[in-house]
Amino acid sequence: MKPNPIYAICSLNDIPNRQAIGFNLMVAEDGGKQRPWSVVVVPWGKRVLGYINKCPHNGVQLDWEQNQFFDPYGIRLMCGKHGSTFELSTGRCVEGPCQGRALTPIALAALDGDICVVGVHLVEDDAPAID
Ligand code: FES
């Protein structure tokens, strides 16, 4: 495996600014095991933010309706199950039953017009690696 893998998961143009899209990917672990890896990606101005799509309250995916990640104001991520809201820039839960806990951030990079995940080994069926 590559020591510091980078995988393009979509084009920057695929996600409008201030919109969130979920990706259900597969991670290849050392030893060959594979496990699902669901993330949410949000281009926000010049930044691209991303978190594991897993609520720290009950461990469910945030978007109970596919790709519905935002609160009604469009400024915080929100869990569809019990309504916890999360500060977009930090992932910290600011309201709801998991207040004080936080989403797990993922490492992302914008390279050559693509949004890339960094530092995890993805199973490469539809996520080509960048050399
Ligand atoms: S499962 Fe997300 S707030 Fe309860």
pLDDT digits (tens, 9 = 90+) for 7-53: 999 999 999 999 999 999 999 988 889 999 999 999 998 899 999 99
**Which atom in ligand 1 lies closest to the alpha carbon of residue 84?**
3
Q: Look at residue 7 and tell me if it is in a domain.
A: no
- What CATH number corresponds to the domain at position 38? 2.102.10.10
Q: Look at residue 49 and tell me if it is in a domain.
A: yes
Sign of CA dihedral 88, 92, 95, 101: positive
Tokens describing residue 30: 């050392």
What pLDDT is recorded for position 2? Answer: 61
- Measured in degrees and rounded to the nearest 5, phi and psi for residue 129 equal -75, 150
User: For the chain, what is the domain count?
Assistant: 1
What pLDDT is recorded for position 127? Answer: 46
Residue-number span of the structural domain to which 29 is assigned? 19-107
The CA 51 to ligand 1 mean position distance, Å, reads 15
Q: Which residue lies with its CA nearest to atom 4 of ligand 1?
A: 82
Tokens describing residue 104: 């797990």
Distance separating alpha carbons of residues 14 and 26, to the nearest angstrom: 20
Which residues does ligand 1 sit against, CB inside 6 Å?
55, 57-58, 60, 79, 81-82, 84, 96-98
The dihedral region occupied by 14, where left means phi > 0, alpha psi between -120 and 50, and beta the remainder, is alpha
Q: Look at residue 4 and tell me if it is in a domain.
A: no
If DSSP codes are grouped into helix, strand and coil, which group holds residue 39? strand
Q: Look at residue 97 and tell me if it is in a domain.
A: yes
Q: Look at residue 131 and tell me if it is in a domain.
A: no
pLDDT digits (tens, 9 = 90+) for 56-91: 999 999 999 999 999 999 999 999 999 999 999 999
Mean pLDDT (the chain) is 92
